[in-house]
Amino acid sequence: MNVEEIRKDFPIFANRDIAYLDNGATTQKPIQVINAVKEFYEKYNANPHRGAYTLSLEATEKYENARTKVAKFINAKHREEIIFSKNATESLNLIAYSYGMEGLKSGDEVTLSIMEHHSNLVPWQKITKATGSKLNYMYINDEFEIPEEEIKKKITNKTKIVGITHVSNSLGTKNDIKKIIKYAHKMGAIVIVDGSQSIPHMKIDVQELDADFFVFSGHKMLSPLGIGALYGKKALLEKMTPFLMGGDMIEYVYEQDTTFAEVPYKFEAGTQNVEGAVGLDAAIDYIENIGYDKIQEIEQDVVSYAREELSKLDFLSLYLTPNKENHSSVISFNIKGIHPHDVASILDTEGVCVRSGNHCTQPLMRYLKIDSTCRASFYFYNTKEDVDRLVKALNKAYDMFKKYIKE
């Protein structure tokens, strides 16, 4: 399949004349995913896990099949290790409250990277304050990467939890999480990997990585909004207490006490987002049908081209590792002297969709001594023409502003 054929699967490109470069925020959806959701409501809709009638059993089957699909997709050992959530943020909050709040004590340390999204950072501020433990950060070097000595300095025998994003949503830096996990385990810490920006682009094998927890959002990998997943090693999940209480996550409920269901159900309170799970199932099929090899081939072609073309614009500041092998599909930049929101507005008039702002990484921005950036993030349906449109629009923005820019 070539890119032209792939793009035909995405109805939005027939309806909107845009260069969609905000895939780090959310991806567009192929017709196969849209149809799977539609088919669910037309043929299978009922409340799963509750009814004794055929329709409810079939809805349950659809939902549980999606769990099995996700488990195989990331090579989890057991299907019960997959918990459905709203998104990566909810998955990370679940871990922070259920694992962190009960497992941490005074003197313990939690180590994050400075490039974490607020969703893997703000919960840890609350948990470390509440438990009297300490929050540490691994900082980046001038190549926007975490140096090995920083990992060894910040992960110590006091560290109980390491939170690390697989790929930075602001910089596109790909962290060597396998190495970090191995070292953290040696020091006696567990590792939570935020895979939101990696799983859309690369094959994930949680057993090979030996990740203790791995979270992601479905909507950044072709699924509907509002469905995400949490992988956790079964032994850890079994020890954890539930995060949300309510229907379907219980065993026996008495007036004063309750016993809880087994994993994964004890973490899935209330009626779940079955259409989302069904959509995620279809999205995984779509990705596997194209194949990660092909996805990487297309993306490397377009992202390399973007790196080259953007590097030629001397009015741009790029926040980009020079090491291509450590870079994924996100490029952050600024036009010197022009605020990124103005740049994004001008790009918008040329049909170029980029994100501008702090990308939910304020501590990273502060560390880099900037307020915000523009961010172009790519997926396998992007083309070199999209890059050309971006470059043309950037030239337009610079031309409009240059006579006013103070030296």
Catalytic residues: 360
CB of 20 to other proteins, least distance (A): 16
Counting contacts by CB under 8 A, is residue 369 touching other proteins? no
For residues 66 and 368, which CB has a smaller minimum distance to other proteins in the complex? 368
Closer of 321 and 372 to other proteins (Cβ): 372
User: Can you name the residues that pair with 230 across neighbouring β-strands?
Assistant: 83, 215
Least separation in angstroms between residue 330's CB and other proteins is: 19
The nearest distance, CB 372 to other proteins, in angstroms, is: 5
| Token duo for residue 215 | 């979270």
Which residue's CB is nearer to other proteins, number 126 or number 339?
339
Scanning 101-109, 208-216, 287-295, 344-352 for contacts with other proteins by CB under 8 A, the matching segment is: 344-352
Is residue 315 a contact point for other proteins (CB under 8 A)? no
18 burial type by CB count under 10 A (0-12 exposed, 13-18 middle, 19+ buried): middle
* Structure tokens, 327: 């870079």
Tell the burial category of 375 from Cβ atoms under 10 Å away from its Cβ (0-12, 13-18, 19+): buried
Among 349, 385, 392, 395, binds other proteins (CB under 8 A): 349
Among 362, 367, 384, 391, binds other proteins (CB under 8 A): 362
The β-bridge partners of 236 are none
For residue 295, the surrounding DSSP H or E stretch is helix 292-311
Q: Which two tokens stand for residue 266?
A: 């004890």
- Pull the structure tokens for residue 57: 């059993």
Q: Per CB under 8 A, does 351 bind other proteins?
A: no
Considering only 142, 149, 406, 407, the residue that binds other proteins (CB under 8 A) is 406
Q: Smallest distance, Å, CB 2 to other proteins?
A: 34
Q: Is 266 exposed, middle or buried (0-12, 13-18, 19+ CB in 10 A)?
A: buried
Spell out the residues 6+ positions from residue 297 whose beta carbon is closer than 8 angstroms to its own: none
- Crossing angle of helices 292-311 and 274-290, in 10° steps, is 80
Residue span binding other proteins (CB under 8 A) among the ranges 34-42, 206-214, 304-312, 341-349: 341-349
Out of 357, 363, 367, 391, the residue judged to bind other proteins by CB under 8 A:
357
Q: Which is nearer to other proteins, 61 or 371 (CB)?
A: 371
Report the site for other proteins in 249-278 (rule: CB under 8 A).
Answer: none
Cβ-based nearer residue to other proteins, 37 or 354: 354
Nearest distance from residue 349's CB to other proteins, in Å?
Answer: 6
DSSP 97: I
Binding other proteins (rule: CB under 8 A), the pick from 143, 371, 385, 399 is 371
- Find the radius of gyration of the CA atoms of the chain: 22
72-99 burial code (b ≥16 CB/10 A, e <16): ebbebeeebbbbbbbbbbbbbbbbbbbb
Does 342 engage in binding with other proteins (CB under 8 A)? yes
What CA–CA distance (Å, rounded) separates 207 from 193? 13
Judged by CB under 8 A, which of 152, 324, 336, 341 binds other proteins? 341
Nearest residue to 70 via CA among 56, 88, 87, 83: 83
Stretch near other proteins under the rule CB under 8 A, chosen from 59-67, 321-329, 357-365, 386-394: 357-365
**# residues near other proteins by CB under 8 A:** 21
- Residue 356 contacts other proteins per CB under 8 A: yes
Q: Considering the complex, what minimum distance in angstroms separates the CB of residue 14 from other proteins?
A: 24
346 binds other proteins (CB under 8 A): yes
End-to-end CA distance of the chain: 49
Angle, CA of 381, 386 and 390, to the nearest 5°? 145
- Residue of 365, 374, 376, 390 interacting with other proteins (CB under 8 A): 365
Q: Is residue 404 within the footprint of other proteins (CB under 8 A)?
A: yes
From 141, 207, 258, 345, residue interacting with other proteins (rule: CB under 8 A): 345
- Contacts for 338 with CB less than 8 Å, ≥ 6 apart: 397, 398, 401, 405
Residues that bind other proteins (CB under 8 A): 338-342, 345-346, 348-349, 356-358, 362, 365, 371-372, 400-401, 404-406
